[in-house]
Amino acid sequence: MSQTDRQNQLQTLRARLGEISDINNALSVLHWDQEVYMPPKGASGRALQLATLSSISHARATDPELGALLEDLAAAGLKGDDAKLVSETLHDYRRAVKLPDEFVREFSLAQSRAFEAWVKARKDSDFAAFQPHLQTIVDLLRRRADYMGYEGSPYNALLEDYERGMRVDSLKPVFATLAKEQSRIVDAVTNSPHQPETAWLDQEWDEQTQWDFALQVAADFGYDLEAGRMDRSVHPFSTGFGIRDVRITTRLSKDELFMGLTGAMHETGHAMYEQGLREEDERTTLGEAISLGVHESQSRMWENMIGRGRAFWEHYTPKLREAFPLQMQDVSPEDVYRAVNRVQPSLIRVEADECTYNLHIVLRFEIEIDLIENRLAVKDVPEAWNAKVKQYLGLDVPGDAMGCLQDIHWSHGSMGYFPTYALGNLYAAQMFERIEKDVPLLWTGVERGDFSPLLNWLREHVHRVGRRMTAPELIQSITGKPLSPEPYLNYLKSKFGGLYQVSL
Ligand code: ZN
């Protein structure tokens, strides 16, 4: 085959991928609207629209002509980005063809119905109303695992969707170390006599003022609001429809000063990753994030290592005081830094502090494995949940809304997703060891509200990589080591040992 014919084949491939990407971005717009603006009666129509578009996207992604084209190109001895584009797309193609079209449609419909039921069940704190939907989801996920194939646990097949190459057997020892060490840290810290003064937080905080402040911080971080926007939703999230339209949501309460802000900082970290993908990769397989764990490393770094850092609050406390002059008359940067890092076992994952957060993940990981491996019946989920909350966090769960109904993920049909949150913490800490060496002006920049040294580093080493590497390759290339829980645990010990004046 001539060089020109080969170029034509690559052009055909890019055109096909572009169309699939357009359909998927349209699906994302509909999902975004479903969670942000859609009126309740729109749900049944939306479910059908999503199912139809999912099925069209799946049909395109599994078109035998695409498969033949990819096999042909894979055998052509391409080099560089062309070779990577073909091998990554072929990887996706071979996975996508394992799922029959009827299954994709059935799954999409079940997701929409489960989401609708979950919203109501959570509002009423009534697991029984969600139980049949969760049963359907678990049954469908087991079938999905069978279609995809796996070695060992069927949960491996679900993990593969979110964190390629990750396995139950490699996660278990890492999570066991985190559970043991973080429980010990939480014990030491909560028993320290040096507890932060937080009484000043028990005031009313005007929601619009909170909103404006959070949006300003997002813009200061480097989130391009000409290519993004922020809205309110029940569960904060970010979603992109191409690098020039990446949106975030957060939630607000007049009783909680930090909830809306930390949600916005977190989602901004995600959104800046999507905005930082290469333009030339747009509408192709290479223009995608590496994995959910790597995605989460970005949100956690901006939310926690930066947004809950001392340098950040040196700069932003005077600005927050300007926004809330009455409430914050006598509050110093150190007071805010200590309050925003208060360690307190709590029931809600998204509000958890850094020391207890992974404990929430470990308990979900265990429950999901038991569900998928058929050791736990769906009807027994609340009991299992409540027992593990007692075990890991020492708390009693007063109702399902504060317990097993708090998260959106199962209603979306997502299991195997939660572990990526803990992995995000670990990746972030491991990367950060390198960043602190590579970027000497990092903290002096943050103290002035200049985040560009960090963002530029992330752009170069993470965002622009697209799918040219897998997560293990990225971590190895940045840090010279494979994934390890040690950097995160060292980070916790140093930060919280200092805050609580205990030796960890
Ligand atoms: Zn996140």
CATH number of the domain residue 92 falls in: 1.20.58
Judge if 266 and 327 occupy the same domain: yes
Split into its structural domains, the chain has a count of 2
15 CA distance to ligand 1 middle (Å): 31
Predicted local confidence at residue 1, as pLDDT: 78
299 CA distance to ligand 1 middle (Å): 6
Predicted local confidence at residue 105, as pLDDT: 86
| Average pLDDT taken over every residue of the chain | 96
Judge if 145 and 172 occupy the same domain: no
Give the mean pLDDT of 377-399: 97
Confidence of residue 53 (pLDDT cuts 50, 70, 90): very high
- The neighbourhood of ligand 1, an ion, using CB within 5 A, equals 299
Which residues have C-beta within 8 Å of that of residue 192, sequence separation ≥ 6?
Answer: 500, 501, 502
270 CA distance to ligand 1 middle (Å): 7
Provide the domain limits for residue 189: 168-500
Q: Residue 2 pLDDT more than 90? A: no
How many residues are listed for the chain in this entry? 504
147 CA distance to ligand 1 middle (Å): 28
The verdict on whether 267 is a catalytic residue reads yes
Judge if 175 and 258 occupy the same domain: yes
Q: How far is CA 124 from CA 127, 252, 445, 450, 497, in A?
A: 9, 20, 47, 44, 40
Give the mean pLDDT of 7-33: 97
Judge if 43 and 139 occupy the same domain: yes
Let me know if residue 474 belongs to a domain.
Answer: yes
221 CA distance to ligand 1 middle (Å): 16
Three-state DSSP class for residue 467? coil
Let me know if residue 154 belongs to a domain.
Answer: no
Q: What is the torsional sign of CA 199, 202, 208, 214?
A: positive
Judge if 104 and 229 occupy the same domain: no
CATH number, position 316: 1.10.1370.30
Predicted local confidence at residue 318, as pLDDT: 98
Judge if 138 and 189 occupy the same domain: no
Kindly name the residue from 267, 274, 354, 366 that is annotated as catalytic.
267
The answer to whether 359 touches 388, Cβ cutoff 8 Å, is: no
CA 292 to chain centre: 6
Three-state DSSP class for residue 381? helix
- The percentage of the chain sitting over the pLDDT mark of 70, rounded to a whole number, equals 100
Tell me how far apart the alpha carbons of residues 135 and 146 are, in angstroms, rounded to a whole number.
17
pTM for this model (two decimals)? 0.94
Q: Residue 76 pLDDT more than 90? A: yes
Predicted local confidence at residue 351, as pLDDT: 86
Confidence of residue 504 (pLDDT cuts 50, 70, 90): very high
Predicted local confidence at residue 350, as pLDDT: 86
298 CA distance to ligand 1 middle (Å): 8
Q: Residue 19 pLDDT more than 90? A: yes
Predicted local confidence at residue 235, as pLDDT: 83
Give the mean pLDDT of 341-369: 96
Let me know if residue 219 belongs to a domain.
Answer: yes
Residues facing residue 409 across a β-bridge: none
Phi, psi angles (nearest 5°) of residue 501: 50, 50
The token pair that represents 96 in the structure block: 């996508």
Predicted local confidence at residue 286, as pLDDT: 98
The answer to whether 362 touches 314, Cβ cutoff 8 Å, is: no
Judge if 211 and 320 occupy the same domain: yes
